[in-house]
Amino acid sequence: MNLNCSRLGSLLFLLSASSAFAHEDQSKPVITMDMKENEKGKKIAYMYIDGVKVHETDPSKQPFPEVVTPGTVPAAPPSDAIILFDGSDESFRKNWTNTKGKESQWKIVNGALESVKRAGYLKSVGKFGSCQLHLEWASPVQVEGDGQGRGNSGVFLMGIYEVQVLDSYENQTYADGQAGALYGRSKPLVNAARKPGEWQTYDIIFHRPLFDDAGKVTRRATFTVLHNGVLVQDHTVLSGGTGWRGPHAATDYKAHADKLELTLQDHGNPVRFRNIWLRELKD
Ligand code: MG
C-alpha cells in the first residue's frame, strides 16, 4: 500500500486521537502506532492493540488460544468444563449442599437431581462469576398446578440472578416469569418449552455485574440464553436484580463478591436436573 507522508500523518493522528479516546473508555482497546524500519530499510507501521502487535507470532507476547476438545454430543461437557453434576451420588455430594452448607435433602432419581419440597435451595460448593453454564432440566410428568405453581424452579447465577425454570408448555403466566425469562426483568424472545417430563437444555452465557467502591453498579450483568438450542435471551443487559420485591417490582443491584455459589431453586415442585457443567469466563 502506498501512502504519502501527509496522508500517513493524518492516519496516525486519527489513530492517536482514537487512542486518547480509548483511555477514557475502559471498555475499548488501547491502540498505539509505531513507525519502524524493517530489515530491508523499509518503513513499516506497527500497530499495537492493548500492547500486543497486530499479527504477533511470538507466543510469549501473544499466547495462542488453548485447545479445547469439543464433546462428541453437543450437550456433553468439553475438556475444560467444571463438572457440577454427572448423575452420580459422588458428584452430587462433592459439588452441592443446602444453603447452610450441610448435606442437601434433594434426591437422585434415575441419575437426575430432584428438588424436594421444603429441602431448600441447592447451593454449589464452588464459587463462580462470569461463566458459560450448561444444564438440563425436566418439569414433572404429572402436571399439577398452573402458572407459577407448575414445575417451578430456577437457576440462580451467583445465587442472585435467576433464569426461570418453569413448565411453560401450554401454561400461561406473566411473560417475564416463564421458562427462559430473567425473572421479573426480561421475558424470553420465544417460548421454546418442551412437554412436561421431557428433558430440556439451558445454555447460559453470563457476565457478572461490576461495582465501584461505593457499591454502585458500573457494568450491569448480561445474559445470553439458549433454551433447547433456541436463543431466548440475546445478550440481554440485566436492568437490575431478579429478586422478589412484591408482585410488580424486582430487587435492585446490590454490590457483592466477584464469585459466588450457583443455586438451584426449591419452589415446591419436583423439578429434575442433570448434566450440569460450566466454563469460567474472564471479565
Ligand atoms: Mg423460579
Instruction: Please write the tens of the pLDDT for every residue from 213-251.
Output: 999 999 999 999 999 999 999 999 999 999 988 888 899
Q: Looking at the structure, tell me whether residues 262 and 130 fall in a common domain.
A: yes
**Among all chains, which residue has been given the C-alpha cell 462469576?**
129
Number of domains within the chain: 2
| Within a domain: 77 | no
Cα of 165 to ligand 1 centre, how many Å? 6
- Tell me how far CA of residue 93 lies from CA of 113, 126, 265, 275, in angstroms: 11, 12, 17, 15
Cα of 181 to ligand 1 centre, how many Å? 10
Give me the pLDDT at residue 247, please.
Answer: 84
Bridge partners, residue 137, by sequence = 200, 273
What lies within 8 Å, CB to CB, of 45 at 6+ separation is: 8, 12, 33, 34, 35
Task: Report CA Rg, the chain.
Answer: 24
Cα of 155 to ligand 1 centre, how many Å? 8
Are 283 and 208 a contacting pair, CB within 8 Å?
Answer: yes
Cα of 178 to ligand 1 centre, how many Å? 9
Cα of 219 to ligand 1 centre, how many Å? 25
Please give the DSSP secondary-structure letter assigned to residue 119. Answer: S
Q: Looking at the structure, tell me whether residues 96 and 195 fall in a common domain.
A: yes
Q: pLDDT tens across 82-101, in order? A: 999 999 999 999 999 999 99
Give me the pLDDT at residue 13, please.
Answer: 39
Cα of 75 to ligand 1 centre, how many Å? 23
Rounded CA separation 209/219 (Å): 5
| Within a domain: 62 | no
Q: Looking at the structure, tell me whether residues 250 and 171 fall in a common domain.
A: yes
Q: Looking at the structure, tell me whether residues 48 and 96 fall in a common domain.
A: no
| Within a domain: 59 | no
Give me the pLDDT at residue 23, please.
Answer: 40
Q: Looking at the structure, tell me whether residues 187 and 136 fall in a common domain.
A: yes
| Within a domain: 58 | no
| Within a domain: 255 | yes
Domain limits for position 271: 82-280
Q: Looking at the structure, tell me whether residues 105 and 188 fall in a common domain.
A: yes
Grid cell locating 165: 425454570
| Mean predicted confidence (pLDDT) in 204-215 | 98
Sheet holding 31-37, edge to edge: 31-37, 43-49, 52-53
| Within a domain: 185 | yes
